[in-house]
Amino acid sequence: MTEDDVRKTAFAMPLTSPAYPRGPYKFVNREFFIVTYRTDMDALREVVPAPLEVTEPLVKFEFIRMPDSTGFGDYTESGQVIPVRFNGEEGGYSHAMYLDDEAPIAGGREIWGFPKKLAQPRLRVEKDTLIGTLDMGSVRLATATMGYKYREADRTKMKAAVEAPAFLLKIIPHVDCTPRICELVRYRSEDVTVKGAWEAPGRLELFHHALAPVADLPVREVVSAVHILTDLTLGLGRVVHDYLG
């Protein structure tokens, strides 16, 4: 293989059998269960990187079921998104993400900078309750519940929420473990179709783990719980701030 061949072929690791294919990445029947809760403002300021600004003491704890996604397959994801502002634009900062499939872990980290780690999130219906759980090995990290399809939510508002801009801190290390890339990335979901949207009473419990500190943003009050079924395309995004530039 020549140097030109490498340059033409390379886009992901490993060179001859990449962990994921090139995009675009489309999702069919992507299901969101989102519990928005109030937490401590000082705790948020400790984890949100400038130049992002924390706007209010809220966190969105998300369970996302993805049964049909191009390139990434069938997997489930969970994590925390923090409402922020950047240059006057409101959006969400992905603080922590946990999922159960190697391809979207590798692709999410390498392309966008999603803060993904391996764990075991689950989303299921048990009689009249929608249940989200997150475990790392044998240790429970989070349990969330809401009434299943309790009442219809405004689909226009839910579509706007899914389409809202989101921000990521992409870090790629150099061979000496210093940052080779350290950038703020902005992306959004595109071609969004909301196929169903519901709201209901919800509850969320978080538990401590040394390597998955979701409970460092403690639950003070549950604000809302929503359940959304969508089709969408994950936009590739752009760099909006270079920490090394």
Q: What residues act catalytically? A: 116
**Terminal-residue alpha carbon distance, the chain:** 33
| DSSP labels, 74-137 | EEEEEEEEEEEEETTEEEEEEEEEEES-HHHHHHIIIII---EEE-EEEEEEETTEEEEEEEET
CA distance 75 to 68: 8
Helix then strand count (H, E) for the chain reads 4, 16
CA distance 189 to 163: 5
For residue 101, the one-letter residue type is D
CA distance 74 to 65: 8
CA distance 112 to 171: 10
CA distance 79 to 97: 4
Instruction: Please list the residues that pair with 47 across neighbouring strands.
Output: none
Type and span of the H or E element at 140: strand 139-147
Residues 101 and 89: beta-carbon distance below 8 Å: no
